[in-house]
Structure 1
Amino acid sequence: MSDKDFVTALRKGLDTLTCFSRVHSRLTLSEVARLTGCTPASARRSLRTLWHLGYLECDGKHYWMNHKCLLVANAYLASRPLPSLAQPLLDGLSERTRESASLAKLLDGEALIIARSTARRSLSVGLGIGSRLPAYCSALGRVLLASLPRSEVRARVRQMTLQALTPRTVTDASEVIARVDEARERGFATSDGELEIGVRSMAVPVFNRAGAVVAGLSIAVRADRMGLSEFIEGFLPMLGRARDRLGEQIYQD
């Protein structure tokens, strides 16, 4: 895209809208400026515009998302085939394993969940469609990074903030890259207590009919339910079968 076609104000507005999350549900002007890297004046213009259009609410100090934002989210889910194709398979996988299953795509340095089936004994409160997981320490993120050329993986990892979310989180860039390399070689990725204490997760890449990776499919268990080796041996075949069935239905996404 040429510079003349790039609308900076639109980018700033979208950056403002996407800085809201479960962690940052109510934000002040200064907090939005910090999260987006904009000046306070620029952040104020974006916030006031989004408020005027009905995408944000404001009490005079704090801003938060309005339900109108669901129009954008629903438009994606309704217009793309992958989430709807995956949902029955996720439900079946969750029912057979009695664990939660997720489908995600790579978005910058995160794995963005686009479909999910939650087991009754859900491991993560608040995890659902639209949730974002750090790619460097999640099984979904690693398996999605593994679909990229190694040079791109190195560049992306070097730009990430490798924060220790638990005592087991790998925060050394070289080791993160090694875990991604391992996922590429094995055809699946794991995360053992790195994202959440006491939780093990495993993910496989989902291919379309052209052989391109279009998403990652994962399942997670409590660490006290089974060891990592037992988890891989017992659940990887089921994960692979669900992945293959989904891939047979996808031409592109």
Structure 2
Amino acid sequence: MRKNEPAPQSAGNPADKNFVASLQKGLEVLTCFGRQHARLTVSEVARLTHGSPASARRSLLTLRTLGYLDGDGKRFWMLPKALLVAHAYLASRAAPSLAQPLLDALSERTRESASLGKLLEDDVIIIARSTARRSLSTGLGIGSRLPAYCSALGRVLLASLSPDEAERRVRTMPRRVLTARTVHEADEVLALVVRCREEGYAGSDGELELGVRSMAVPVYDRTGATVAAMSIAVRAERMEMAEFREAFLPALRRARNTLAGRLSPE
């Protein structure tokens, strides 16, 4: 697998005079909502964002005034205007729009779900996805996050980092046991990352959800740098992991190669 050094971190530095801490807090509040946190109180938002209730309340009320949230005096929830933030990314970046027809074709040909993801802190965020008729119970969609240590997408993207950076990330990230099959010990995860670096693909067998197998490959731009990962998932009862790999890895790599030929450096 071709390697790609990690991009410089862009985490906010409060000591920087150009850093707007209130904007950071507002964005953290906006992105703490989700499937399991659809309606939140001020105290719940403060806990999820690791901030004070007073700060959470100011951000919530500001976002409500701007039309991104609504509330009933106790709980707050998202409004459609929040989609403008996601749409701005999807409309302005080439990878999602170029990948979507390829994911659709791959999903139609295999009758399975296919995704494109990028590394985001300790997770992978899905930036394009095509869902097959055999839908998975994980309910993934664009914007969903998967833990990097136990997902096929995540292991591919960790393998694209330098060995030192990959080890640093794995050892410092939270690694919860999600199922009885989840590989979570740091040394075991790192061994799978090394294997992915050598073989050019990664798998995850029931680690995120029992009964679901997934496989991923790196996506390169025209310079050979890894810019994303592409995956396909299958229900365990349909085929064993070895059969899954033999049946779908060539098609996954063909879709990846087609996308790579269209991607300019970011």
Alignment of 1:30-41 (within 5 A): 30-41=43-54
Equivalent position amino acid for 1:30 in 2? S
Unmatched runs of 5 consecutive residues or more in structure 2? 1-12
Q: Distance in 1 between matches of 2:187 and 2:160?
A: 18
**Deviation by residue 1:118-163 (Cα, 9 ceiling, x = unmatched):** 1011113531111111111110111111111121112222222211
| In 1: Cα distance, 2:198 partner to 2:248 partner | 19
- 1:214 aligns to 2:237 (yes or no): no
Q: Does 1:153 align with 2:166?
A: yes
1:204 partner amino acid: V
2:115 to 93, 102, 110: 102
| Match for residue 146 of structure 2 among 133, 138, 146 | 133
RMSD, aligned α-carbons: 1.2
2:117/2:230 contact within 8 Å kept: yes
| CA distances 1:57-92 after superposition (whole Å, capped 9, x unpaired) | 111111111110011111111111111111111011
Q: CA deviation at 1:46?
A: 1.2
Deviation at 1:234, TM superposition (A): 1.1
Q: Secondary structure at the match of 2:257?
A: helix
Structure 1 counterpart SS, 2:230: strand
1:21 equivalent in alignment to 2:51: no
Counterpart residue identity of residue 17, structure 1: L
**TM superposition outliers: structure 1 runs of 4+ over 4 Å:** none
1:175 maps to: 188
Instruction: Provide the C-alpha distance between the structure 1 equivalents of 2:95 and 2:137, rounded to a whole number of angstroms.
Output: 23
Whether 1:117 aligns to 2:130 is yes
Larger RCO (CA under 8 A, 6+ residues apart): 2
Matched residue pairs, number?
253
Superposition deviation, residue 190 in structure 1: 0.4
Question: What 5-or-longer segments of structure 1 have no aligned partner?
Answer: none
The SS at the match of 1:14 is helix
Contact 2:112 2:234 in 1 (8 A): yes
After superposing the two structures, state which structure 1 stretch, 21-30 or 138-147, moved more: 21-30
Task: Tell me the SS of whatever aligns to 1:214.
Answer: strand
TM-score of the superposed pair, with normalisation by structure 1:
0.97
Q: Which moved more, 1:241-250 or 1:3-12?
A: 3-12
The residue aligned with 1:233 is: 246
Does the Cα contact within 8 Å between 2:202 and 2:217 map onto a contact in 1? yes
For 1:182 and 1:141, the matched residues in 2 are separated by 13
- 1:72 and 2:79 correspond: no
Contact 2:138 2:209 in 1 (8 A): no
Say yes or no: does 1:247 pair with 2:249.
no
Q: Hey, what's the Cα distance between the residues in 2 that align with 1:182 and 1:61?
A: 50
